[in-house]
Homo-oligomer: A and B are copies of this chain.
Amino acid sequence: MRADADFEHAYAVILAGGSGTRFWPLSRRRHPKQLLDLLGGGTLLEQTASRIRSVIPAERTYVFTNELLRGEISRCLPGIPKDQIVAEPAARNTAPSIGLAAHEILRRDPDALMGVLPSDHIIRKPAKFRQVLRAACRWAATEGRSVTIGLKPTRPDTGYGYIRKGPPVGHAAGQEIYRAEKFTEKPPAATARRYLASRRYLWNGGMFIWRASTLLDNLARRQPVMARSLAQIARGGGVRARATLRRVFPRLEKISIDYALMEKISNVFVVAADIGWSDVGSWAVVYELQRKDGESNVRPRRSLCLDSQGNMVVSPRKFVVTVGVRDLVIVETDDALLVAARDRSQDVGKAVQELERQGIVHLL
């Protein structure tokens, strides 16, 4: 069967090198968002790996991260072979990582299809997501083109990239496939509202499927300097040849795959995915996604909220009492406590920058 053949050559590349600050004090440099269990059901990274399992098994899953996180990620994902958890020697954004991954996978399987998946979001409809993933794999295998998973937007968010859907070009695994006409990064508010109203735009969640060989061909054409360096690493032994990797990789251009490639090439396709995606961008989003008590508080059993509404309390060990407070985020860890207005929780990162500026490194 053709379908099975598609998936036999399907490899996953999970990107897990991120180091956000908006979930401080839970998130730290050595314990970033993808390693947090923000909503129950495991860390975001564990959920990313397990939700694809029935389409792409652990033995064909790679995780790209940094040297600081590799140990914890290995422990977090015991099913994935250790040599497929790759520590990059420097943070160069997604294009160099994905190029490096393509070489690794191509070395193993010349017919490899490669699904690139960030690990810092949630997908509340994992079965739906797997349908979309199968469709994208099938179309990418058949057509030899890049297939992006485009997310149905739910609000005119100015923090995301948008993909304009072209005319439908066919079906795969029960999903309609469209031509992707245009990638737009973080539009102004009015533009975002127009996009949402037009129903022709999808959010770019950074998930796409492509043949590893075709990806590298395109990279060679669009980013020849980067492609030559990546080829040098591959000739030198790839990710296992740490000396070459450490010498060459840090000098690669720091650039996202969207800027480096996706926005530059034609013949990209897109599947429209209604999969309950959220990038969980702040404590306020975590609050929205959680079950509330009768006073709209999200709080642990060991807490008491007196005349308090709309608060989120995260305190695994300590008993928390609130009196007469509204719409706060209260997060407590062994060494730090955050109390923020919920509608200011996107600014928690600024506070962390200030801690860094003041040299309070043990809290970063």
Contacts and interface: CB of A to CB of B under 8 A. Distances in A.
A239 interface: no
Interface of A: 24-25, 304, 306-307, 315, 318-325, 328, 330, 332, 335-341, 343-345, 347-348, 350-351, 354-355, 358, 360, 363
A25 B321 contact: yes
Contacts of A339: 320-323, 325, 328, 330, 339
Q: How many copies does the complex hold?
A: 2
A133 to B, nearest CB: 37
A344 B24 contact: no
Contact of A321 (B24, B318, B323, B341): B24
Nearest to A302: B360
16 contacts: A304-B351, A304-B355, A304-B358, A306-B354, A319-B360, A319-B363, A320-B337, A321-B338, A321-B340, A322-B340, A323-B341, A324-B343, A325-B328, A325-B339, A325-B340, A328-B328
Contact of A323 (B315, B332, B338): B338
B337 A315 contact: yes
B347 A320 contact: no
Contacts of A338: 320-323
A346 to B, nearest CB: 9
A339 B323 CA distance: 7
Which among A324, A332, A351, A363 has the greatest number of chain B C-beta atoms within 10 A?
Answer: A324
Contact of A306 (B25, B332, B350): B350
A337 B323 contact: no
Given A304-B351, A306-B350, A354-B304, A325 B337 contact: no
Contacts of A319: 335-337, 360, 363
